[in-house]
Structure 1
């Protein structure tokens, strides 16, 4: 079937999609990178009426699904080594913060395999629970209140909407990261354009539902993204499964899909939460000012990143920025961090580092299966979902 590649009509579809998008969970996972386990493989190829890519995108945009509940399995394989429980800031959890804070807890979804229970009743009520063998972590959005509860530590986190640190109520919830097939699909469609090929790639059955497969792929060479495949419910237009495969082949980098789904309105009690006696409760507005609103616990130095620029366009765009010479990140990159580098951070960097040279000088490329980052010796950073060669070429062109 011919690709749907009209930028004007795609733009209209994306604007309509954004207008109708309904959050199906209170939180989600960052920067669009998640892949699904073999147990979630498609079962059967249902015989459905023919549909064009344009019609399928419009079907997603027009979807009016506001109520649902179900189970989602997420598997992420970026090829990162274990950091031994350290947060993305490489320093662990700050003193005084809560283990139930979704800005910290949900970073765990960036690696490995996880089972989630999700429920939604319109824009005002959503719930997401991360299920482990012996514990459960839940985030509940009910009107103006956002609660998070970690059963392993018996700690709860509470924020009121509008309070600093409470997070967004729209598609991505308090963590600012997409976690469901719908949210991930919205992000990809909003970012796609003339550099993208969109086709219908057959049919599938997901969680017992007949679905069309929408395939979204870069036209450009040099991207580490092979393709994004979205299974779209044939009846409701709701994305049921999202899979991102790398250009290098092999298992999916990101894959998230429903194993069970029900489009009936969840029971009102689903969104009830009252901390038990003895539960430690952290109020968002009681945290130190410097800790409020920090999504993902990024290092404080991130606020001082200098002159962020985007080079190129589409799937091969590269971000360029300058690290402050006295920043913690800059010190780590140059090997001059006071007191030396934490062992887990050193292991992380050593396992990913690859020395490169060019007209830009010399530096080190840190690689995952999807994203490559070049840190030069003079403190510049180049990052993108592009190959190492494309990254070095972008740096050389500056």
Structure 2
């Protein structure tokens, strides 16, 4: 417990990487060569086309290449997974496996048949890791360790949101363009061929200076309106932060057997909290109590960095649009990296830059997209903005 408490003081820099991964998502994207000749279309019409898309079935293969400008986290993740600082988790844990996608290049297979059936497989040489949702069952299987995680969940058929939403694609497009306002440029940047399909390219760029985002490009299937490509580029240049995309795609309904799963003979099966004893877990109530004790609840754990998290509990928002900065007072002096557990000390040293100003001194924990300044007196400033923008915000707050 003491080691866990010590490690918890270093949540903020790790949350930076988590937020960056969350803002990226897993939207498939990788343009092939070729510029098809398609009818002209406006940005609003293309947004309407995306909104009108009703793709329920597909299968395909795509690659995800991520470059956050971070040092390798593979060894660090293995250390934590083996119980080094936070306690062990099963190798089939989806959160643990998906964190591997925040660096390097990975090949994935995907299949979907409506809201009740989806399958995602991460390929790693001859090894595979699969997540399967089939009705009320959720399975995770790691072929390398021959371990299975199974959990029962509610059926995917849930009542629609009661809040009022735009009623037509045109209304939705109008809302998107209105939300973009004066801070964003949205244009159609030509065409592309993605996985053998003709696509339009929607280009989104900040008009404000100080953002770390250079552009977002989304390739949209010209026939179905389905997004096929998402490329996120940083003002730092170099490789895209995210370049992930379909190399093969088929919109036909996958065979029902695609989503069938039976634990292989000899596999270790762990039941989740929804059914049977959890070998590795605790009840939701116990987890909530632990979070409250260790971090002051979820808001304390993430330092109020998630949108809307911690509002009314110390989090404030500075600026607007692409240069929005969230601020949060942890109420405690920032730890020194040389006090960190040895498993993460080198990682923190490579991730952070010491800075000073009117606010005093602190450390900027950086990626190519999301940066966070943690001052020595425990205040946190985080956003998809440059290091200087964070320092300026901290100075202005004094």
| TM-score tier after normalising by the smaller chain length | 0.7 to 0.9
Deviation at 1:43, TM superposition (A): 1.3
1:86 counterpart SS class? helix
User: Residue 14 of structure 2 aligns with which residue?
Assistant: none
For residues 291-312 of structure 1, what are the alpha-carbon distances to aligned partners after superposition, in whole Å with 9 as ceiling and x for unaligned?
9889xx9x95263246222221
User: Residue 176 of structure 1 aligns with which residue?
Assistant: none
Within the candidate set 316, 320, 324, 1:317 is matched to 324
Q: Structure 1 residues 312-321 or 49-58, which shifts more?
A: 312-321
Q: 1:293 to 1:78 in 2, by over 3 A?
A: farther
User: Residue 105 of structure 1 aligns with which residue?
Assistant: 97
For residues 150-185 of structure 1, what are the alpha-carbon distances to aligned partners after superposition, in whole Å with 9 as ceiling and x for unaligned?
11111111122249xxxx999xxxxxxxxxxxxxxx
Deviation at 1:92, TM superposition (A): 5.5
**Contact kept? 2:81, 2:87, Cα under 8 Å:** no
Is 2:325 the counterpart of 1:335?
Answer: no
**Contact kept? 2:81, 2:96, Cα under 8 Å:** no
- Equivalent-residue separation in structure 1 for 2:23 and 2:180 (angstroms): 18
Is 2:17 the counterpart of 1:64?
Answer: no
Deviation at 1:289, TM superposition (A): 2.4
1:69 counterpart SS class? strand
User: Residue 183 of structure 1 aligns with which residue?
Assistant: none
1:193 counterpart SS class? helix
Q: Show structure 1 runs of 5+ residues with no match.
A: 1-28, 171-185
1:397 counterpart SS class? helix
For residues 12-56 of structure 1, what are the alpha-carbon distances to aligned partners after superposition, in whole Å with 9 as ceiling and x for unaligned?
xxxxxxxxxxxxxxxxx622167999xx55311000000000000
2:69 counterpart SS class? coil
Within the candidate set 107, 114, 125, 1:133 is matched to 125
- Equivalent-residue separation in structure 2 for 1:374 and 1:96 (angstroms): 30
- Equivalent-residue separation in structure 1 for 2:368 and 2:82 (angstroms): 24
TM-score, normalised via structure 1 length: 0.77
User: Residue 193 of structure 1 aligns with which residue?
Assistant: 180
- Equivalent-residue separation in structure 1 for 2:90 and 2:228 (angstroms): 33
- Equivalent-residue separation in structure 2 for 1:82 and 1:387 (angstroms): 22
Q: 1:85 to 1:215 in 2, by over 3 A?
A: same
Q: 1:344 to 1:152 in 2, by over 3 A?
A: same
Is 2:225 the counterpart of 1:237?
Answer: yes
Answer with 1 or 2: which has the greater Rg: 2
Deviation at 1:57, TM superposition (A): 0.4
Deviation at 1:86, TM superposition (A): 2.4
**Contact kept? 2:80, 2:88, Cα under 8 Å:** no
- Equivalent-residue separation in structure 2 for 1:155 and 1:346 (angstroms): 31
**Contact kept? 1:140, 1:271, Cα under 8 Å:** yes
User: Residue 289 of structure 1 aligns with which residue?
Assistant: 283
- Equivalent-residue separation in structure 1 for 2:125 and 2:385 (angstroms): 37
User: Residue 4 of structure 2 aligns with which residue?
Assistant: none
Q: Say what the alpha-carbon RMSD is for the aligned residues.
A: 3.0
- Equivalent-residue separation in structure 2 for 1:79 and 1:127 (angstroms): 30
**Contact kept? 1:199, 1:214, Cα under 8 Å:** yes
Deviation at 1:99, TM superposition (A): 0.8
**Contact kept? 1:35, 1:254, Cα under 8 Å:** no
- Equivalent-residue separation in structure 2 for 1:84 and 1:353 (angstroms): 18
Q: 1:81 to 1:357 in 2, by over 3 A?
A: same
Deviation at 1:105, TM superposition (A): 1.3
Mapping 1:1-398, distance limit 5 Å: 30-32=22-24, 40-87=30-77, 93=83, 95=87, 97-162=89-154, 193-194=180-181, 195-285=183-273, 286=278, 287-289=281-283, 301=295, 303=298, 304=300, 305=303, 307-325=314-332, 333-335=334-336, 340-398=339-397
User: Residue 15 of structure 1 aligns with which residue?
Assistant: none
Q: Structure 1 residues 134-143 or 76-85, which shifts more?
A: 76-85
1:269 counterpart SS class? helix
2:199 counterpart SS class? strand
- Equivalent-residue separation in structure 1 for 2:95 and 2:53 (angstroms): 29
2:75 counterpart SS class? coil
Q: 1:73 to 1:193 in 2, by over 3 A?
A: same
2:107 counterpart SS class? strand
For residues 261-308 of structure 1, what are the alpha-carbon distances to aligned partners after superposition, in whole Å with 9 as ceiling and x for unaligned?
0000000000001112321112221221269889xx9x9526324622
For residues 287-339 of structure 1, what are the alpha-carbon distances to aligned partners after superposition, in whole Å with 9 as ceiling and x for unaligned?
21269889xx9x952632462222211111111112253xxxx6xx42288xx
- Equivalent-residue separation in structure 2 for 1:63 and 1:70 (angstroms): 18
**Contact kept? 1:36, 1:75, Cα under 8 Å:** no
